[in-house]
Amino acid sequence: MEILTENKDDFFVIKIVGRLDASTSNDLEEKVLEAIEDNGVTNMLINFDELEYISSSGLRVLLVAAKKLKVKSGIIKICGMKSHIREVFEIAGFTPLFTIEDHC
Amino acid sequence: MSKPNSNSELIVSSSTDNLSVIRDFIRNAAENAGLSNEAIGKITLAVDEACTNVIKHAYNYSPDGEINIAANVKKSKFIISITDFGKSFNPEAIPDPNLKESIKQKRVGGLGMFLMKKLMDEVEYHTSSGKKNQVILVKYLA
- Read off the pLDDT of each residue in A75-89 and give the average, rounded to a whole number: 97
- Would you state the pLDDT for residue B110? 85
Distance CA B99, CA B92 (A): 19
Residue of B16, B19, B103 with shortest CB distance to A67: B103
Distance CA B105, CA A35 (A): 20
Domain assignment present for residue A42? The answer is yes
Percent of chain A with pLDDT over 70: 100
CATH code (residue B89): 3.30.565.10
Domain assignment present for residue A3? The answer is no
Looking at the structure of chain A, the number of domains it has is 1
Cβ contact B11:B83 at 8 Å: no
Domain assignment present for residue B41? The answer is yes
- Read off the pLDDT of each residue in B112-121 and give the average, rounded to a whole number: 95
Helix (H) or strand (E) holding A35: none
Does residue B20 belong to the interface with chain A, where contact is any CB pair within 8 Å?
Answer: yes
Which segment of A57-61, B6-10, B110-114 scores lowest on mean pLDDT?
B6-10
> CB distance A60–B108 less than 8 Å?
yes
Domain assignment present for residue A40? The answer is yes
Domain assignment present for residue A2? The answer is no
Distance CA B14, CA B94 (A): 22
Distance CA B39, CA B50 (A): 16
Domain assignment present for residue A60? The answer is yes
Domain that holds residue A75: 8-101
pLDDT over threshold 90, residue B130? no
Max Cα–Cα distance, chain A, nearest Å: 33
Distance CA B45, CA A91 (A): 12
List the alpha helices (DSSP H) in chain B: 19-32, 37-53, 99-102, 111-119
Domain assignment present for residue B28? The answer is yes
Residue B76 identity (one-letter amino acid): S
Helix (H, G, I), strand (E, B) or coil at B90: coil
Percent of chain A with pLDDT over 90: 100
Residue (of B121, B115, B117, B55) closest to B82 by Cα position: B55
Task: Tell me the CB-side half-sphere exposure of residue A56, using CA atoms within 13 A.
Answer: 29
Domain assignment present for residue A64? The answer is yes
- Read off the pLDDT of each residue in A63-88 and give the average, rounded to a whole number: 96
Domain assignment present for residue B1? The answer is no
Distance CA A97, CA B99 (A): 9
B-chain CB neighbours of A59 within 8 Å are 111
Distance CA A60, CA A25 (A): 9
CATH code (residue A64): 3.30.750.24
Instruction: Calculate the average pLDDT of chain B.
Output: 88
Does residue A63 belong to the interface with chain B, where contact is any CB pair within 8 Å?
Answer: yes
> ipTM of this predicted complex?
0.93
Cβ contact B15:B52 at 8 Å: no
Looking at the structure of chain B, the number of domains it has is 1
Report the gap between the CA of A4 and the closest CA in chain B (Å). 21
Report the gap between the CA of B4 and the closest CA in chain A (Å). 26
Q: What is the pLDDT of residues B70-90, one digit of tens each?
A: 999 999 999 999 999 999 876
Task: Indicate the angle between helix axes B37-53 and A56-71, nearest 10 degrees.
Answer: 80
Domain that holds residue B18: 7-140
Q: What is the pLDDT of residues A17-36, one digit of tens each?
A: 999 999 999 999 999 999 99
| Highest mean pLDDT, choosing among A26-35, B100-109, B127-136 | A26-35
Distance CA B101, CA B95 (A): 13
